[in-house]
Chains A and B, each alone.
Chain A
Amino acid sequence: MTLGATEASPPDGGLPSEHIAETAEAKQIEGRSLGQIAWARLKKDKVALISATLILLIIAIAVLAPLIVKISGFPPDQPNFKDSNGNDLLDTQLGGIPAGGLFGSGMSSEHWLGVEPQNGRDVFARLVYGARASLLVALGGTVVAVVLGTVVGMVAGYFRGWVDALLSRVMDILLSFPTLLFILALTPVIADRAQSTFGIPDNNTLRMGVLIFVLGFFGWAYLARIVRGQTLSIREREFIDAARSLGAGPGYVIFRQILPNLIPTLLVYATLIIPTYITAEAALSFLGVGVKEPTASWGRMISDASNWYEGNPLYLFFPGAMLFITVLAFNLLGDSVRDALDPRAGRS
């Protein structure tokens, strides 16, 4: 009496609740994950496409910087005083601001975006190389913050009890730090220590490493809190018990069962903090604790240019515009990612 129905064809079959996927895409056996659905939505979003293209372009510029500079002809660190015809690039009488070009920028067919006042380095080359420092520090800092925040948050939320109490206090303390002040005070100290104690020369690799570490270290606590909250709720779901009833240990449950469910949150958070870290790197370099001479960074360029904005406003404009476009693109993409991942967002 009981069998038959269950054996032959897919059961629950002809019922109305059995459902679109069965009929409409009967041939498409490959399932669509929630991620793939979000991806499909994202691909239809024009703002997302434009910002993603911009971001890819900026990343390409950063990666291909040496190649681009070869084509443009002037390395970023090379001082230039004369153009190929032997004319002076800089006007020594006006304190060394570029001679000629739009608004005294020194823009010409050789120096596409002009040259720096005083030492005549090529602005285009420095802008291209500046993308490297900005993106490297911002992405590096984001990776550190996301990895730390995710692991600590998951551990606190999964184990609860005293582990949670301890880690949550650490998060509280970190969140109540005057972060910017600490970064300003700490970065030179860490760089200095690294040099005196470990003999690591205070070059820009070290500086960038320190920036990444500092941004990441002060940035994970907020994410850890979010992750902890989500872990607390995910661990109450029955599929966690299902895994445990099969003998799974904490490592399996945390990384194989809980982590995949956090990915939307992590993506959204990452797209949220990348632009703030780009700005932070610029601000720190502007304030002199970030990337040092002679390496280019947008923050450093803005800092230098602020001394010359009357005689050479474009020198300030170019790095400012790059910073603005990059941050805006990341923010817009972040918004789109958030919408695409949110099943309740009434779009698509």
Chain B
Amino acid sequence: MTTTSTPKSTGRATAFSERTNPVRGEVLLEVEGLQRHFPVTQGIVFQRQTGAVKAVDGIDFQLIAGETLGLVGESGCGKSTTGRLVTRLDEPTGGKITFQGADITHLNRRQMRPFRRDVQIIFQDPFSSLNPRQTVGTIIAAPFDIQGIKSEGGTRKAVQDLMARVGLNPEHYNRYPHEFSGGQRQRIGIARALALRPKLIVCDEPVSALDVSIQAQVVNLLDDLQDEFDLTYLFVAHDLSVVRHISDRVAVMYLGKIVEIAARDELYNHSRHPYTHALLSAVPEPDPDAVKRRERIRLTGDVPSPLNPPTGCRFRTRCWKAQDVCAEQEPPLVQIGAPGHLAACHFPEERDVV
């Protein structure tokens, strides 16, 4: 592969030299008991809080430098909220976020500023994530502009290098977002996220809005960029098929909680939580024999409201294995099976799915 057009040559390395680069395998980001409750208020003049949407309700995970953690779950389970908390676009209502040993849970905007270079986000919607009134050049230059970073050879050169690196024609510098297709727009968003050489990129369903044929191209691009720039990804998706290729580990979320987390192959081949089973059974399988071997689990009923989640295990209203204890006690997220394989279920699956 050739990387002649990478912006590494622009000398920005000097401007960034004060930043410590994470060593592969060390903990880059740690989240403990992370919580985001959105208050629900009533009344117009005198507002009083009548409840809370428990979008994220106490989750723990670590991101190891250089890895990709897939975060999977149905719509509304709190994946985007988690991503927004990690990038500190939103304020946690509880818990702790540590980035490279520094507690960033409640840093204000000014204090967050240096970390902004290190943690970036790519959004789901390739239309709303780009300002329709700005040229691609302006959009990708925004990181330099906002952080006040000058690059050797000028911002324009840096931007065009970035465009080339993500597979855009650098001559389209002066074009507007509406002149690009969804896949190209997503590449613009990737270039913008990449501009400041972040260490961690939260990818919030970066390919969900794209045609299936283009999805693979964008995922491959992200994969390549990860190797080239030593990136760590938190990769959000709503089904297990998208993250399979790119993830090293996968976490499954249900109603604001992580219910299972494991290394990729471990999770796909030896999942323990009934919910993970249900999600896996929905993954299209290229091998027709495998489809026969695996019964399809159809989840019945709606996802309960995060305003008023079920007691005990949150999945019990839809779980075919639920017992009385599931309503009384919340199952802790504990190691089951291989090291690093955690699941939160009173009656974990014994048998393997393949």
A-side residues, CB < 8 A to B, are 2-7, 10-12, 15, 17-19, 21, 29-34, 237-239, 241-249, 252, 257, 260-261, 263
Contact = CB atoms under 8 A, between A and B. Distances in A.
B192 interface: yes
Interface in B221-249: 221, 223-224
B12 interface: no
Contacts of A257: 131
Nearest to A250: B109
22 contacts: A7-B167, A11-B221, A18-B183, A21-B179, A29-B173, A30-B174, A31-B135, A31-B174, A32-B179, A34-B132, A238-B123, A238-B128, A239-B129, A239-B139, A242-B123, A242-B189, A242-B192, A243-B142, A245-B116, A247-B112, A247-B117, A260-B133
Interface string B115-146: 01101110111001111111110010011001
B176 A2 contact: no
Given A11-B167, A15-B213, A247-B147, A3 B133 contact: no
Contact of B181 (A19, A33, A238): A19
A247 B146 contact: yes
B111 to A, nearest CB: 11
A3 B146 contact: no
B116 A33 contact: no
B224 A12 contact: no
B128 A239 contact: yes
Given A6-B220, A31-B172, A245-B116, A17 B211 contact: yes
B25 to A, nearest CB: 23
A12 B267 CA distance: 32
Interface of B: 1-2, 84, 87, 89, 109, 112-113, 116-117, 119-121, 123-125, 128-136, 139, 142-143, 146-147, 167-169, 171-176, 178-179, 181-184, 187, 189, 192, 196, 211, 213-214, 217, 220-221, 223-224
B129 A242 contact: yes
B2 A7 contact: yes
Contact of B217 (A12, A29, A31, A246): A12
A31 B146 contact: no
Nearest to A240: B131
Q: Which of A7, A237, A241, A245 has the most CB of B within 10 A?
A: A245
A274 B123 CA distance: 41
B182 to A, nearest CB: 7
Contact of A241 (B121, B168, B174): B121
Contacts of B128: 237-239
A239 B131 contact: yes
Contacts of A21: 175, 179
Contacts of A247: 109, 112-113, 116-117, 146-147
Given A19-B181, A31-B175, A260-B134, A241 B89 contact: yes
Contacts of B113: 247
A29 B131 contact: no
Given A6-B224, A245-B89, 12 more contacts: A2-B220, A10-B169, A21-B179, A32-B176, A239-B130, A243-B146, A244-B89, A246-B146, A246-B196, A247-B117, A249-B109, A257-B131
